[in-house]
Amino acid sequence: MSATAQSDAFPNVSDLKKRIAEIQGEKASEYVRVEAAKAAEKQALIDQLTKPSGVADDERMKRAASIIKRAVESGLTEIEIGRFSVKLCTDGGRALNQQEKGWEKTLTGLPKELYDFWKAHLQPRGYKLRAQIATWPGGMPGDMGLILAWD
C-alpha cells in the first residue's frame, strides 16, 4: 500500500473531533427526548390521579380487606397503600413534610380519596394512617407515601 493510500485511510484529528462532536450531539438529543417522554408520562399520571377514581366505597373496602389480609399473613403490621407525587398536594408537600396540623387538607385527587376513605371507614376500626415524604430528588420533596398501620 502506498503512503498516499495509507494517509487517505487514516483519519486526521480534525475529522475525529467532528465525529466525536456528532456522537455527543446525538447522545444529548436522545437523552433530551427520553427525559421529555418520562416527564410527559409522569404528568399524564398526575393528571389521571387528580380526577375521581370512580371506585365505590364498598369496592374499596373489599380491596382494602384483601390487601390487609395478605399483609397480616406475611407478618406485617403496616403497608404502603399508595405513593404519589407531592404535586397532588396543593402546597407541594410542604405541610406534610412539616407534619403541620391540617396537612391532610392539602391533599387532592386519589390521595384525598384514600385519606377520606380511611377517615370514614378504617380509623373507626382502629387503623392508623401515616403520611410522609418518601423520595427527595435533588433535595426537594418528590413523592409522598401513605402507610396504613394496625399495630
Q: Domain locations in the chain?
A: 3-49, 57-149
Reported as a single tens digit per residue, the pLDDT across 26-79 is: 999 999 999 888 888 877 777 777 788 888 999 999 999 999 999 999 999 999
Reported as a single tens digit per residue, the pLDDT across 64-98 is: 999 999 999 999 999 999 999 999 999 999 999 99
How many of the other CB atoms lie within 10 Å of CB of 117? 18
pTM of the full structure? 0.71
Residue owning grid cell 416527564: 39
